[in-house]
Amino acid sequence: SPHVYLATNSLQGPWWILSWPERVPGADEVLPPPPPAYRVLTGVVDGFGRTLTFHRAAKGDVAGAVTGVTDGAGRRFHLALTTQAQR
């Protein structure tokens, strides 16, 4: 898709995939009003082809924050923010 960017500092990786925070329109779809001026990290691929795909909260007090990760094997992990008292 022309709306997804690939960034890397080496041919061996890792590669960072930057995209829209929401679903990317298909090539045959009309683009929504001006796309955001920024892109968010949606996935990472390392030099061995291992992948991580990040999932973000759509609403609530953590909207836009990464709340889950899916690895290349299809395992999905839920991330939860907790705070602990200082010792």
**6 pLDDT higher than 80:** no
Dist. CA 46–CA 41, nearest whole Å = 14
Predicted TM-score of the model (pTM): 0.57
For the chain, give me the number of helices (H) and strands (E)? 0, 6
User: φ, ψ for residue 45 (rounded to 5)?
Assistant: -125, 130
Would you mind telling me the total number of residues written for the chain in this entry? 87
CA dihedral 45, 40, 68, 17 (to 10 degrees): -10
Residue 23: per-residue pLDDT: 66
| pLDDT at residue 76, rounded to an integer | 92
pLDDT value of residue 70: 92
Quick one: pLDDT band at residue 75, thresholds 50, 70, 90?
very high
Peptide bond into 34 cis (omega under 30): no
Q: What is the pLDDT of residues 12-70, one digit of tens each?
A: 777 777 776 666 667 787 766 665 667 778 888 887 888 989 998 888 888 888 889 99
| Segment (H or E) for 56 | strand 51-56
